[in-house]
Amino acid sequence: MDSTWVVHEDTFEAERQHHSETIFTIGNGYLGTRGTFEERYPGDRQATLIHGVFDDAPIIHTELVNAPDWLPFSLFVEGQRFAMNHGLVTNYLRTLHLRTGLLTRQLRWRSPGGQSVDITIERWASLADEHLLAIRYTVTALNFSGEIELRAGLDGLVENPCALQSNMGLLHWQRMTQGYPAPQIATLHSRTRTSGIDLCQAVYLTVEGVENVSYAPHDCPNCPQVIARFHLAQGQTATATKLVTMYTSRDISNPAAAVLEKLAEAIARGYDALWAEHVREWDEYWRVCDVVIEGDDEAQLALRFSLFQLLIATPRHDDRVSIPAKTLSGFDYRGHVFWDTDIFIVPFLAFTLPHLARNLLMYRYHTLPGARDKARRAGYQGAMYPWESVPSGEETTPHWVPLADGRVVRIWCGEIEQHISADVAYAVWRYWQVTGDEDFFVNYGAEIILDTAVFWGSRVEFNGREDRYEINDVIGPDENHEHVNNSVFTNRMVQWHLRTALHTLSWLQETHPDKASELAQRLHLTPERLVHWQDVIDRIYIAQNTETGLMEQFDGFFDLEDLDLTSLEPRTQSVQGLLGIEGAQKVQVLKQPDVLMLLYMLDDEYDQATKRVNWDYYEPRTDHAFGSSLGPAVHAILGCQLGEIERAYEHFMRAARADLHDVRGNADAGIHAASAGGLWQAVIFGFAGLKLTPQGPIVHPRLPSHWKKLSFTIRYRGETRQCSLES
């Protein structure tokens, strides 16, 4: 077994339980299931989250709903229920096989009565058929012959943690029906409380390797089960297979019929054929997505793990959903989508699986009505994207959140973290540059860029005294500072955005005049408006010292207290956690790159000297250890550009360890999706130095000294290119 393709644990530690559940998440782009155990344990955080299945919830507006658990599988050995916290467990090994998305647990269990069994449990979510899931449970009797019972079912009594009070749960499901259409099949039909989405699930249990298996339903309310009973002789192995199918009313008009049809089809095809089809799909993914790092097994594994987590969270057949900040692996941020997807994840997909990047950008297209509504309600024109987005397109950032100590914190991002609209436009533009997907750009992307530009045109403020445009009262990427004026990131991105919008329109006028005039008419792109955009481009205030090139993150940043971060060491929490929101607001400490984020995004527009002076100023003033997980990968890229390879590598490894080593202590709440996408960018744009030029992509490698070789594949405008770099 190649250790750079597997994540494993060889002991089960109860105190790391929630972290392991996140790490051992599996999925298939339709749903994600955390790595809780089939037999369930007190305090575990079971979750299966299905893209698009949202329901209303207090404070957080709406959240991805925890779906009825498809994992339940219990084993009784001579009447004793298997659980790892009684009897004796030895030879425990849990392994996530990244190549195939298979999660395996192996162990030996001695029951309290002294019977020993070897158990192997495998689970996977089919990538070939996103409505199909499977568990294979094998039991070998080691020192006895006796009666075995297996129960495989569904558990509809699942909750979401309540945002109001963390020790309370919120049940989103109403039970509709459950049934047993055949002795080996059970079904559950549930409906979300307020959004009215139907979810149907069917389960089938079969046991091979033993004779005379008797099957019977066990009709427990909300938890339909199929029971299999048989005799196992000493040395004999029984292999049980549980197949599960799921459909929602978002997918199909009659999900109850669809789950049974799909189940019948799966049973007829057989486990081996289903598995082979699934593996073929994974092979296809890895053929284009894998990045090989020779000479650094830790980095190699972390990168593959990150790409695996992104791939299982990326919708394949649905462009009305997108990847949440914690993928489908945890409850934090409740399934809401942030700029994390557009800026940190889309580039990876644009260069490897462009049709999937397109899905994520189509999601932004479909949510334009929500963005228009948000702009209108705030008194602006055009489209203003929500900071936290869901498929309805509404702004779903909570206005306030309760802290553990009972205090309440006002969250302003939904109102004033407005750079998201430029970020989405940027993602569209970059996707178009990489893929040349003209159909997307002409029919969807251009409208996104133009209508968000309309928003900025109405958002900027003219300061007559200074004879310049300004944008006041915003939050830039660095969320340690709220209500700031003239965020250099925001203003500069707006300038880029308006320039890109003018360019887009004139390109459309030349190449697709009908589309250009349709959009000009529908979005009111009048000559006056275009003149205004040009005026804003020329006169928007960008706080940059013309001699040194140093930018001031926002008005007055340099006047804040210049706190020496080392004076806070040793610490185990963020600067914001230590000083409080108000305290952090008063010091020059960044939660994440802000000016440096700009230099990274508009890379081509800044020279080395500008990057150097800003890096020297801002990098030491950033809370790398406990600030945002979005930061390290971006610092790694800029570090590479500045020839600071060792420092870049340190930042890179901080991103690499974000989830596997839980460096921030919050991986229990879900995968850090942006960091995972950033990790790919740090390797490709940082160490490999990939850049798009008018002549196509070029590389400028600067590998860490211990990397022997770096190889990867990119897709560029329909062509596949292999790249192999040696240090």
Binding residues vs ligand BGC (CB under 6 A): 325, 333, 338-340, 477, 479, 591-592, 628, 630, 674
Which residues, 6 or more positions from 219, have their beta carbon under 8 angstroms from its beta carbon? 178, 180
| Cβ–Cβ < 8 Å for 386, 396 | yes
For ligand BGC, the closer of residues 117 and 671 by Cβ is: 671
For ligand BGC, the closer of residues 119 and 674 by Cβ is: 674
For ligand BGC, the closer of residues 300 and 341 by Cβ is: 341
Neighbours of 147 (CB within 10 A): 12
Q: Quote the CA–CA distance of 585 and 688 in Å, as a whole number.
A: 37
The radius of gyration of the chain from alpha carbons, rounded to an integer in Å, stands at 27
- Work out the angle at residue 514's Cα, subtended by the Cα atoms of residues 510 and 515, and round it to the nearest 5 degrees: 85
For ligand BGC, the closer of residues 111 and 487 by Cβ is: 487
DSSP strands (E only) in 597-693? 691-693
Q: How far is the CB of 417 from ligand BGC (least distance, A)?
A: 8
Active site residue 528: no
The alpha-helical segments, DSSP class H, found in 324-445 are: 339, 346-352, 354-366, 368-377, 413-416, 420-435, 438-440
Q: How far is the CB of 658 from ligand BGC (least distance, A)?
A: 11
| Cβ–Cβ < 8 Å for 90, 107 | yes
Taking CA atoms, 330 is separated from 22, 49, 555, in Å, by 7, 8, 37
For ligand BGC, the closer of residues 95 and 490 by Cβ is: 490
Q: What is the SS3 assignment for 452-478? A: HHHHHHHHCEEECCCCEEECCCECCCC
**Phi and psi based region of residue 580 (left: phi greater than 0; alpha: psi -120 to 50; beta: remaining):** left
Among candidates 166, 162, 173, 174, which has minimal Cα distance to 59?
162
Q: How far is the CB of 666 from ligand BGC (least distance, A)?
A: 10
Q: How far is the CB of 365 from ligand BGC (least distance, A)?
A: 21
Taking CA atoms, 268 is separated from 257, 272, 274, 612, in Å, by 17, 11, 10, 63
Q: How far is the CB of 340 from ligand BGC (least distance, A)?
A: 5
- Work out the angle at residue 575's Cα, subtended by the Cα atoms of residues 569 and 579, and round it to the nearest 5 degrees: 105
Helix (H) or strand (E) holding 257: helix 255-269
For ligand BGC, the closer of residues 325 and 633 by Cβ is: 325
Q: How far is the CB of 668 from ligand BGC (least distance, A)?
A: 15
For ligand BGC, the closer of residues 29 and 335 by Cβ is: 335
Q: How far is the CB of 444 from ligand BGC (least distance, A)?
A: 24
Q: How far is the CB of 72 from ligand BGC (least distance, A)?
A: 32
Among candidates 507, 323, 343, which has minimal Cα distance to 425?
343
For ligand BGC, the closer of residues 21 and 423 by Cβ is: 423
Q: How far is the CB of 676 from ligand BGC (least distance, A)?
A: 11
Reduced to 3 states (helix: H, G, I; strand: E, B; else coil), residue 336 is: coil
Helix %, strand %, coil % of the chain (to 5) = 40, 25, 35
Q: Which of 38, 479, 482, 619 is catalytic?
A: 479
For ligand BGC, the closer of residues 124 and 387 by Cβ is: 387
Could you tell me the maximum CA-CA distance found in the chain, to the nearest angstrom? 91
Catalytically active residues, by annotation: 479
